[in-house]
Amino acid sequence: MSVRILALVGSLRAGSHNRQLAEAAIKLAPEGAEIELFEGLAEVPFYNEDLDVEGKVPAAAIALREAAGRADAFLLFSPEYNGTITAVLKNAIDWLSRPYGASAFTGKAAAVVGTAFGQFGGVWAQDEARKALGIAGATVLEDVKLSVPGSVTRFAETHPVDDAEVAAQLTEVVARLHTQVGTASAS
C-alpha cells in the first residue's frame, strides 16, 4: 500500500537541522512510503478567521490545505524556540485545523520528531506539537518519538542521513507511520 506523508518543518532557516532531518526521512523512507516536504510555510500568513472565508483565503494557505488533503499521514519536524513550538509550525497546524469541523488532520496519523541545540533535543516543543495535533483531530502516535539533542555540534559536519543512530531511529519513525496508516486502512 502506498502511503503519502506530508512533512512540515518548523524552522525557516536555510541550514535548519530539522529540515535536514526531513530530507533524511525522505531518503530513508521505506518502499511504499512517499514523503512530501511542504515548501512554503514562510508564505502562509498568521491564521486569521477574517481571511478564512471563501474568496479571501491566501494562496499559500490553499496550497498547504491541498497538500494536506492529499496526505495520508503527517510528520512534523519541530525545533524548540524558548521552550515551546515555533510560530511557523503552530500556524500551519492552525490553518489545517480549520474551518471548524473540517480539519485536515481528522483521522490521519501524525508523528512529531526533531532536533534542537539544548540537551533534551526539543522535547517540550514536540510535546506541545503533539498536543495541538491531537486537539486538531490527528491520530497522534504518542509513543513515536525522536528528540536529538545538541544539534549544532552533532550536525556541524554530518548530515542526519549520515548519522547511523539518527538514520536508524528516523527510519523506524517513518515505518511506524506507514504501518499505522496501513492498519487504519485495513480496519
Give 51-86 as a DSSP string: TSSTTTS-HHHHHHHHHHHH-SEEEEE---BTTB--
What's the rounded Cα separation, in Å, for the pair 55 and 25? 36
Question: Is 70 exceeded by the pLDDT of residue 187?
Answer: no
Q: What is the DSSP letter of 146?
A: E
Mean pLDDT of 76-97: 97
CATH 3.50.50.60 fits 3-186, yes or no: no
pTM of the model as a whole: 0.96
Q: Residue 183's pLDDT is what?
A: 76
Closest CA to 134 of 105, 114, 113: 105
Q: Residue 98's pLDDT is what?
A: 96
How confident is the model over 18-76, as pLDDT tens digits?
999 999 999 999 999 999 999 999 999 999 999 999 999 999 999 999 999 999 999 99
Question: Is 70 exceeded by the pLDDT of residue 90?
Answer: yes
Question: Is 70 exceeded by the pLDDT of residue 94?
Answer: yes
How confident is the model over 107-119, as pLDDT tens digits?
999 999 999 999 9
Domain boundaries, the chain: 3-186
How confident is the model over 140-159, as pLDDT tens digits?
999 999 999 999 999 999 99
Cell of 174: 517513518
Mean pLDDT of 164-186: 90
Q: What whole-number percentage of the chain has pLDDT above 90?
A: 94
Mean pLDDT of 86-105: 97
CA distances (Å), origin 38, targets 31, 88, 129: 20, 12, 17
Closest CA to 40 of 20, 68, 1: 68
- Residues composing the chain: 187
Sheet order of strands, 139-148 included: 33-37, 3-9, 73-77, 109-115, 139-148
